[in-house]
A and B are shown apart, each in its own frame.
Chain A
C-alpha cells in the first residue's frame, strides 16, 4: 500500500490512464524497489540544490551562549546537567515491538508497564499543559507524552524552558498510544542527562555540507540515522566474514603494522621514525609476507583482518588506510580460494539483504553461485577481438595491433600507458584494465594473469608465462586478488629482485626528468620512494612453505557493494579528507 500511495503522488500517469491502474497495482511488489530509488534520487537532488541551511557561526555562538546559561541555571537549582548514569528498562524498538498491538487511545498504567528509556531529543512540540517530545536511541524512536499534572514539582516548566532539541534525556513513565496512533511513554519523571550546547542541523534538510558530513560524522549520524545503519551493516559483514572463515578452521593472527621493509604489494608506503630504535619504519602495504611466514611456521589456515596503509591519492575509491582480510590455506590452490570468495560474499549478502540479487547504484547484481570464471586472455579477446595468444613476441607489433583495435576514442593517458608497457604481459593487463574491467558488472573471476605483473604468484601448471592467479570483479571493481602462492625461494628471489630493479629504473628516470607536464610530474612523484627486498621473507621460504593458496579481499569495497554506497567515504567512519578547514 505504501508503494501505491507513492505512485499516486509521484505519477500523474496512473491517473491519466486509469485502465493501467490495475496493472500497476499488480506489479506493486516489483515496482517498490524502483520507487525507492527514484525517491532517494529525488531527495538527494533537492539536498544538493537547496542553499545551505546550516546555522551561521554567529547564530551558533548565540545558541551556545543561551544554552550555557541553561547549564548554569540547572546547576543553581541543584541539578547536574551532565548526569552520571541512567537505568534503562527498554530500548525504543523493544517498546514498539512489545506494544505493537496496543489500540489507539489506549493506556496501560499498571506497575508492570512502567518503563524507563533514554536518548536524544530530536523533535519537540509544546502546548499549554501538554508537550510531545520525540526521543531517539540507537534502536529507533519513541514519543514522550508529557502532561503538566502528571510531572512532579516544577518539571513541566523545566521541560519547556530548559530542554532543547539535541539534549539527552532519561525518562520514565507508563505506556500510552495516542489517538493519532503514536506509541508514547507517558512521562511522570525525567532527567536531563546531557545538555547539548550546539544546535543540530535542520531536521528536514539534514546536513547539507558534504565535506562536513564526513568531517563531523557524528552530526551526520544524529541528523541521518540511515548513515549509522551503514556502520551497523559494516559490523554485521565483519562478523559474518569471521564466522565464515572460522567455521572452516582458520585462525586469526596479528602481524606487524610497523615494518623494516614494506612488501607484498606495489605501493608507496608511509614512513615513520622510531626514536628508541633510531631507525625509519614503514607502515605495512599488505599483510601477505608475514602471513606466509605463519604457513612456514606450521599454521595451515590463517587469516588477518587489518588496516593497510598506502601513501597514495585520495578518491571515492581510495582512502590512505583501509581494511582487508588476507587468508592463506596450506595444500590448496587458487581454485579453493575462488570457492572461498564466493562463500564469503554470498554469506555477507545474505546476512545484510537476506537475498542474493542486490542493487548497486541502479544496477542489479546477481550473486547466485557459481560465478563466471574466465581467463584474462579470453576476456580481452571477447571484448576487443585481440587474441594475445596469436601475437608474436614483438612488443612493438603487439602495441600497433592494440592501438589499431582499441585506439579510437582512447584518451591520451591510456595511449601513453599502452606505449609505456615494458612487456607483452603488461600490455595484456593494460588492455584488460582499459577495455574489460569497466564491463565486468556481474561477479567474474578473471584468471591466469601474466607473470610480469604477478611477482608473488606461482607459475601456471600448464601455460608458460602465466600465473595461477585470479582477481574477482563486481561492478567493474576489483574486490579480491588471489593466487596459488609462489613457494620456490629461488624463483621468488629472482622475481622480487626484478621488481626492485624495475622500480629503481623508474625512479632514476623520474629523477632525471626535471620538467614536463603536470601529469608527468605527478607520475614521477609517484615512484619517488624506496623499495627494499624483504630478505627475511626469502629466508623463511628457504625453510619450505607448503603449497598454498591465499587471497586478499577489500572489506571497504565489499561494504560499499552491500550497502549500495557510491564512495568509500560512506563506509569509513572517519575518512581522510582533502582540505582541512
Chain B
C-alpha cells in the first residue's frame, strides 16, 4: 500500500498548476494535435491497472490525477470543448426501444453522451458500460471489432475508462441477445474523467431494484433506504452525488419544476400577472417571523430579507393590477427541522373583487387539478409518519372539508370560548384551558399563541385529507379582514394537509384605520416579549389610504406541496442545496 498521503487537492494543486501550465503552453503550440481523435491515443506511462475497488480512495484520486497530468504533458486535452450529440439517452430509448432481440441497425450513426455508472468486461475485446443521461440509462456494448481502433489501442483505451467518467460515443443502435437495448460504439471518448472513486453501487443495473427506481412517479411512495447512496448527510451536502447515483432524486426535482409550472399556467390562464417584489426591504412585514438582517454598504443602512411577499403585492393591487402573483424565495431566521429551512419558496396571489370563499374554490381547483395531472389520480400515498411507518393515503378529491375554527374547537375540547378574545379574562381562560389539557405554550403566553396551540392540538391533528380551517379570531392575524357577519372573527382560512399548514388566505383587510389599530395591538404582544409579532409598516398603511379594492389573497408553500407529491417527509428532500449545520 502506498504512503497515506492526504487526498486534499491543495497539496496537489501547486505542482499540478505548474505542470498544467506547461501542458497548456504546449497545447497551444500543438494546436493541430488537438483534434478529438488524438485523445484516443493511449498514454504510455499509464499507472498499472489494479482492481479499482481494492484501492484506497485517496490513492485512487492520486492515481487519476497523475494520469491526467501525464495526459496533459503529452499534449492531450482531457477536457474536450464540445461533443456533438445527435440525441439524448431518452430520445434513443424512445426511438429504438422497440427493436427486436438481436436486431442491429448498423447503417445508422448515433452519437450519445452521458456518465458511465457501471463497467464490466468479459475480455480485452469486449466492454459493457451503463450510460446514464438526463435521468435515463442504456447499455453500451463496446466491441473491438466495431471500433475504429486496433485491438491494442482499444484494450488500452477502455481499460482507462473508469466508473463515473463522462463519455461521448458514436455508434449504431441494437438489442443484445439478452434483449437489452444497447449502443455499439465505433468510437468512444472520455469527455471528463471522474477523479474520485464513486460510492459503491449496491444495486446492479439488471436487478429489479434499479428498474423500480426508474419507474417512480409522483404520488407514489419512495424508499430511500434502497438507494445506492443512502447516507443522508452526503446526499444533502453533495447533492450532485445524490442526483448522479439515485435516479429517483432527479425526478423529485423535475416534479418540483412541474408543480411550479402548473401554478404559473393556472394563474396565467385566469389573467394573473407575474411580478417581482423586493427581497430586501426596510421593514420586514406580512408575517409573523424573525427576519434576516443585512447591511447595505453604500447606503450605510440596515436591510431586512423579506419574510413574506404580501405587503408589496397588495401595493401593486392598489396601483391597479387586479390580479397579481409572485413565486419567490422567502427567508426566515429560525431553527431548522423536518419542515423548516431558512429559505423556502412561496407562491402568493391576490385577486381584486374576490373574497376568501372564492379563493377556497380556486385553490381546491388548483390543487386537485395539479394532483390529478401529475399523478393521474386524486389520491396520493405519503409516508406521513416517517419512512419507518406505513404510508397513508391522502385524498385531494374536491370539495375539501371545511371546519369553523371556534365552533369546532368549542365542540372538540368542550370549551365555551369567549366571544371577545381581546380581554385579560379571555387570555386567562385560554391559559387555563391549555393547562387543563396539558398543552405547552412557549412564553409569552399571548392569546394568539394560546389559541394557536389549542388549534394545533384539537383541530390540525384531524386534518389528514385537505381541510380548510376557517374564520379565525381577529387576534390571530392582523392583515385579515373582520368577518362580515361574525363579530370578533376574520374571513380567513388555512388549508391543512397531513396536519401541516399548506396555505394561508384571507379577505384582505383594506380599511386603513382598522389596519393601524391591528398593528397597535400587535405592538402590545411585542411589548409582552413576543418578538415575532408584526411591526407597523407605515408605508403600507399610507398605501391603504389610497384605496385597496376588496381583495382576497393566498399564500401556498411550494416546498410543502412538493414534499406531499414526492413522498418526502423531510423538506431537505425537495430542496436542492439545503442549509446544513457546519460539519464538526
Contact = CB atoms under 8 A, between A and B. Distances in A.
Interface in B221-243: 237-243
A242 B260 CA distance: 12
Nearest to B14: A494
B545 to A, nearest CB: 4
Contacts of A268: 297
A113 B273 CA distance: 29
Given A85-B353, A299-B243, A276 B81 contact: no
Contacts of B527: none
Given A297-B240, A494-B13, A573-B276, A331 B34 contact: no
B315 A540 contact: no
Interface in B322-359: 322-323, 328-329, 331, 333-336, 342-343, 345, 352-355, 358
B582 interface: yes
Interface in A398-456: none
B1 interface: no
Interface residues of B, number: 129
Interface string B278-304: 111010000000101111111101010
A271 B297 CA distance: 10
A118 interface: yes
Contacts of A216: 539, 542-543
A221 B165 contact: no
Interface in A156-198: 166-168, 170, 193-198
A482 interface: no
A218 B510 CA distance: 15
A232 B276 contact: no
Contacts of B460: none
Nearest to A122: B320
A258 B253 contact: no
A551 interface: no
Interface string B456-498: 0000000000000000000000000100100000010000000
A256 B292 contact: no
A256 B12 CA distance: 30
A14 B352 CA distance: 49
B398 interface: no
B115 interface: yes
Contacts of B299: 314, 576, 578
A27 interface: no
B13 A497 contact: yes
B250 A297 contact: yes
A4 interface: no
B550 A86 contact: yes
A491 B268 CA distance: 46
Nearest to A87: B353
A459 B273 CA distance: 43
Nearest to B34: A461
Nearest to B65: A490
Interface stretch (B83-91, B384-392, B433-441): B83-91
A494 B20 contact: yes
Given A253-B576, A307-B279, A542 B113 contact: no
A491 B16 CA distance: 8
Contact of B547 (A166, A459, A462, A576): A166
A484 B30 CA distance: 21
B244 interface: yes
Given A274-B292, A309-B279, A545-B192, A120 B305 contact: no
Contacts of B250: 297-299
Contact of A271 (B193, B237, B295): B295
A273 B257 CA distance: 30
A575 to B, nearest CB: 8
Best-buried of B113, B164, B510 by chain A (most CB within 10 Å): B510
Interface string B72-83: 000001111111
A147 interface: no
Nearest to A295: B240
A33 to B, nearest CB: 27
B218 interface: no
A307 B305 CA distance: 12
B381 interface: no
Interface in A317-346: 320-321, 323, 330-333
A290 B297 contact: no
Given A64-B545, A543-B194, A272 B260 contact: no
A83 interface: yes
B383 interface: no
Best-buried of B84, B192, B543 by chain A (most CB within 10 Å): B192
A200 B336 contact: no
A137 interface: yes
A277 B579 contact: yes
Contacts of B132: 298
Contacts of B528: none
B294 A271 contact: yes
B168 interface: yes
A246 B507 CA distance: 35
B317 to A, nearest CB: 8
Nearest to B301: A580
A313 interface: yes
Given A198-B545, A252-B257, A574-B277, A525 B81 contact: no
Interface in B156-197: 164-166, 168, 191-196
A311 B296 CA distance: 6
Interface string A226-246: 001001101100110010001
Best-buried of A301, A333, A547 by chain B (most CB within 10 Å): A547
Interface string A276-312: 1101010100000010011011111100001101011
A246 B578 CA distance: 25
Given A252-B257, A257-B343, A321 B280 contact: yes
A487 B192 contact: yes
Contacts of B577: 255-256, 290, 293
Given A268-B297, A543-B164, A235 B273 contact: yes
Given A167-B547, A314-B298, A307 B328 contact: yes
Interface string B16-34: 1100100011011001001
Given A273-B293, A544-B194, A574 B278 contact: yes
B301 A542 contact: no
Interface string A478-505: 0000001001111101100100000000
A85 B358 contact: yes
B241 to A, nearest CB: 7
B353 A88 contact: yes
A253 B196 CA distance: 26
A255 B293 CA distance: 21
B149 to A, nearest CB: 21
A270 interface: yes
B547 A235 contact: no
Nearest to A250: B257
Interface in A545-564: 545-547, 549
21 contacts: A82-B511, A170-B353, A194-B549, A197-B545, A198-B542, A218-B320, A234-B275, A239-B274, A252-B261, A258-B342, A276-B333, A281-B342, A294-B576, A298-B250, A331-B191, A462-B34, A493-B17, A536-B237, A544-B165, A544-B195, A573-B277
Given A459-B24, A546-B115, 19 more contacts: A85-B550, A86-B353, A136-B320, A225-B320, A242-B264, A252-B261, A254-B256, A275-B334, A297-B250, A300-B133, A307-B329, A462-B31, A494-B17, A543-B195, A543-B196, A545-B166, A547-B81, A573-B277, A574-B312
Interface of B: 9, 12-13, 16-17, 20, 24-25, 27-28, 31, 34, 61, 65, 68-69, 77-85, 88, 113, 115, 132-135, 164-166, 168, 191-196, 198, 237-244, 250, 253-254, 256-257, 260-261, 264, 268, 273-280, 282, 290, 292-299, 301, 303, 305, 312, 315-316, 318-323, 328-329, 331, 333-336, 342-343, 345, 352-355, 358, 481, 484, 491, 507, 510-513, 539, 542-543, 545-550, 552, 576-579, 581-582
